[in-house]
């Protein structure tokens, strides 16, 4: 039941705008330094954030993070680390706009996997929406037309990883609280990224430290806004507003990085978003 629907919607819009700003910083930093090191520092800050939240939980730290599914959390952490690394590296290769246009297929991939993995009922309209989204991806990637870049598969792989991560999250939160599912990927991910990031450490220029701190701060702020959003309104009701991230990212790509929005990318992204919104509308219909 929603507590304050209007506040929840504005919190979601603020969260996706913050995620977009975070992506803008990550593109610059990952182009200037190496991707594993930048993601490692981000994970250090995020692990500190979730640890602080756990220490402030009323039930106590140990009870707050207790889980009966450690292997699932390890798998989720690995998938999330891979997804973040792939998408951020994709920003440096094909830009923010095209990366997010392809990544927009993620909700439809989640819908496709929900049938075989979660046992959800799959109707033909749902499959039609998924097929339309895949057509949108093909329009963006344009295989066989001489403009396809293998780097364009990076956001597609990231979308698949995040889709499987989301399915595992649903499975782990069916019979236990949601906080362990939020805590463990952050902590395990920090350990994993430290193993990859420290050997690739590069000296950070004095002028770039404020940018790195802003990037890490935005990572924490975006998740905090999302948590506050879900305290006010059900996730399904605000999910359509998550697509605004593509709008914000496109503006950052054009205004900051001088990227261009190619007509076919806009067409493909529009088809993916329309299919995603239609699939969300199906979820709200009574069985």
The domain ranges of the chain are 5-283
Asked if 176 and 68 touch (Cβ cutoff 8 Å), the reply is yes
Angle at 43 between CA 216 and CA 205, to 5 degrees: 50
d(Cα 239, Cα 278) in Å, to the nearest integer? 12
Q: What is the pLDDT of residue 247?
A: 92
Q: What is the pLDDT of residue 193?
A: 96
Phi and psi torsions of 206, nearest 5°: -55, -40
**What is the full per-residue pLDDT of the chain (287 aa) written as tens digits?**
557 778 888 998 999 999 999 999 999 999 999 999 999 999 999 999 999 999 999 999 999 999 888 899 999 999 999 999 999 999 999 999 999 999 999 888 888 888 777 777 778 888 898 899 889 898 888 765 544 678 889 999 999 999 999 888 888 887 888 889 889 999 999 999 999 999 999 999 999 999 999 999 999 999 889 888 887 877 767 888 888 999 999 999 999 999 999 899 999 999 999 998 888 787 665 54
Q: What is the pLDDT of residue 115?
A: 77
d(Cα 69, Cα 92) in Å, to the nearest integer? 35
Query: What pTM, to 2 d.p., does this model score?
Result: 0.89
Token pair listed for 166: 């989301």
d(Cα 1, Cα 10) in Å, to the nearest integer? 17
Token pair listed for 134: 């895949």
Asked if 36 and 200 touch (Cβ cutoff 8 Å), the reply is yes
Selection from 209, 188, 223 nearest residue 78 by Cα: 188
Q: What is the pLDDT of residue 271?
A: 93
Q: What is the pLDDT of residue 148?
A: 62
């Amino acid at each position: 039941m929603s507590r304050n629907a209007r506040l929840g919607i504005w919190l979601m819009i603020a969260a996706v705008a913050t995620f977009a700003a975070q992506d803008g910083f990550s593109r610059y930093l990952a182009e200037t330094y190496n991707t594993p090191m930048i993601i490692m520092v981000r994970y250090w800050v995020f692990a500190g954030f979730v640890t602080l939240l756990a220490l402030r939980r009323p039930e106590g730290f140990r009870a707050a993070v207790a889980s009966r599914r450690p292997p699932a959390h390890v798998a989720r952490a690995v998938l999330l680390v891979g997804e973040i690394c792939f998408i951020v590296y994709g920003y440096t290769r094909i830009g923010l706009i095209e990366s997010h246009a392809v990544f927009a297929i993620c909700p439809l991939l989640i819908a496709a996997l929900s049938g075989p993995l979660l046992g959800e009922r799959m109707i033909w309209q749902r499959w039609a929406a998924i097929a339309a989204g895949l057509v949108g991806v093909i329009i963006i990637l344009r295989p066989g037309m001489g403009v396809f870049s293998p780097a364009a598969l990076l956001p597609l792989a990231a979308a698949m990883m995040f889709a499987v991560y989301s399915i595992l999250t649903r499975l782990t939160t069916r019979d236990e609280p949601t906080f362990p599912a939020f805590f463990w990927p952050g902590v395990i991910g920090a350990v994993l990224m430290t193993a990859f990031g420290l050997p690739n450490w590069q000296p950070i220029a004095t002028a770039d430290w404020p940018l790195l701190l802003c990037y890490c701060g935005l990572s924490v702020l975006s998740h905090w806004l999302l948590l506050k959003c879900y305290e006010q309104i059900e996730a399904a009701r605000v999910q359509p507003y998550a697509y605004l991230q593509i709008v914000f990212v496109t503006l950052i790509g054009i205004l900051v990085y001088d990227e261009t929005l190619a007509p076919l990318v806009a067409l493909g992204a529009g088809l993916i978003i329309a299919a995603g919104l239609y699939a969300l509308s199906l979820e709200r219909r009574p069985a």
